[in-house]
A and B are shown apart, each in its own frame.
Chain A
């Protein structure tokens, strides 16, 4: 057994906050994004709202293809845009690592990271005034859409509350990317969250089934299920259950 592992007494246990907060969080995050100026692109509004909510100095979103090629991007401001871009120029950085490892990469001190993780990117980001970077993959299982990066001008971790908020921004961004609409506004939260309320095995199983039924990518399957649920005014859970129980096919065939 490793030395770090020390079972502790029951009195010392703290438990993460109760599960009921997820809905509230998403609503708050949506509200913050919708309050941003209308003339901005949706992803840009997400970045600006995240900066405000997380006392950050900047934020950037890179939408990526499965092989890591960068597509659409957005940032809260020109400096952040450059720091976000830099990772793709240099081929290293938290965003690329988060995408590749499919989990958040939380770097509380870029000075430490400079020595082993990103010898080129870390000093360059520091030159831009960044001291800490928190990168969150935009993903739902095997669906990988990109990464949102939060930049801070001071060393130190996100609090638990900030962490939940940051993950909330990532989740809402995934939904926005899946549902991209002409007017660029977020759909109302109706419990049809990608990962939030009603996170159930059936939902993800249905995604795999629809992928095969329609012969599309898993990402496209997610978007189609969401579109169907909205169009038919059904909850995602209900659609998923019908798909898994083979009462519904999105390709119109009957089984």
Chain B
């Protein structure tokens, strides 16, 4: 890597900043961010994890949300690059998964089995705290982030933090807890909606998520709002109510 053009980079940051205005949806924003994070460096997948009040990392958004990938995130409650970035506040880069079994006995083989060959993680930092991590999976061995890529990815992680904290004044330290708890609950709503739609349309939960996302995009609705309506008032979404 290290081949990211300045033009491409600025276009991505402008696009991301553009979504941060007015009534933005946190999950639309985080999905965009993980999409762009992975495409920027030619990675196979990227995702975000946030810590709850017990310091447990929860998957919050990904460039892709297939079951195998989500499992890889969930596994990182006990071990893996996200947990390391979260605990140390330092980025983890260019780890060759084939050679990382000693470091992460559970995570590394599963990530390899899922088709990934390298992994990276960047802490989400807010003042003196680390609130989560941005995870990037590559399908090339060892990854090849160079010195120029690292600050770019860290900047995207910092932008994710800004998005998370944007909805309310962050000067109050209580706002952090309020935001994180709200985001974690919204994530649960999305999972409930995936389940409901998978049952109605008789598809997998992965496909259900794709349909929810596509519906939100084509109807210019917020992902979180669509997910909530699927669970609480499905008839109000005629395009989704029937398979």
**What residues of chain A have their CB less than 8 Å away from a CB belonging to chain B?**
1-2, 4-8, 10, 12-22, 25, 66, 101-108, 137, 139-142, 157, 160, 163-164, 167, 199-201, 203-213, 218, 244
> How many Å lie between the Cα of A6 and that of B182 in the bound state?
24
- Are B89 and A208 neighbours in the complex by a CB distance under 8 Å? no
B129 touches A205 (CB 8 A): no
Count of chain B residues with a beta carbon within 8 Å of a chain A beta carbon:
55
Among the 9-residue stretches B1-9, B49-57, B111-119, the one with 4 or more Cβ atoms under 8 Å from chain A is: B49-57
B197 A142 Cβ-Cβ under 8 A: no
Contact pick for B200, options A16, A106, A139, A212, CB 8 Å: A212
Do B194 and A10 touch across chains, with their CB atoms under 8 A apart?
no
Task: Say which residue of A101, A164, A204, A207 sits within 8 Å of B53 (CB atoms).
Answer: A164
Task: Decide if B177 is an interface residue (CB 8 Å cutoff).
Answer: yes
A-B contact count (CB 8 A): 157
Q: Does chain A have a CB within 8 A of B193?
A: yes
Chain B: which residue is nearest A107 at the CB level? B174
What is the CA–CA distance of A239 and B186 in the complex, to the nearest angstrom? 23
Residues of A within 8 A of B128 (CB): 8, 12-14
User: What 0/1 readout, one digit per residue, does chain B (196-209) give for beta carbons within 8 Å of chain A?
Assistant: 11111000010000
Nearest-CB distance from B78 to chain A (Å)? 8
* Residue from B54, B77, B158, B231 within 8 A of A5 (CB atoms): B158
A22 touches B54 (CB 8 A): yes
Q: Contact partner of B196 among A10, A14, A102, A209, CB < 8 A?
A: A209
Residue of B nearest to A197 (CB): B56
In the bound complex, do residue A13 and residue B54 qualify as a contact, i.e. CB atoms below 8 Å apart? Answer: no
Q: Which of B50-83 contact A (CB under 8 A)?
A: 51, 53-59, 70, 74, 77
Q: Pick from B88, B171, B197, B230: contact of A10, CB below 8 A.
A: B88
- Contact assessment for B89 and A207 in the assembled complex, using a CB-CB cutoff below 8 Å: no
Q: Is the CB–CB distance between A19 and B56 below 8 Å?
A: yes
Is B86 within 8 A of A15, CB to CB?
Answer: yes
> Which of A4, A7, A203, A208 touches B199 (beta carbons < 8 Å)?
A208
- Check if B53 sits within 8 Å of A16, measured CB to CB: yes
> Residues of A contacting B231 with CB < 8 Å?
141-142, 208, 211, 218
The answer to whether the Cβ of B179 comes within 8 Å of any Cβ in the partner chain is: yes
Contacting pair B55 A208 (CB below 8 A): no
A201 CA to B171 CA, complexed, in Å: 32
A204 is contacted by which of B51, B87, B127, B195 (Cβ under 8 Å)?
B195
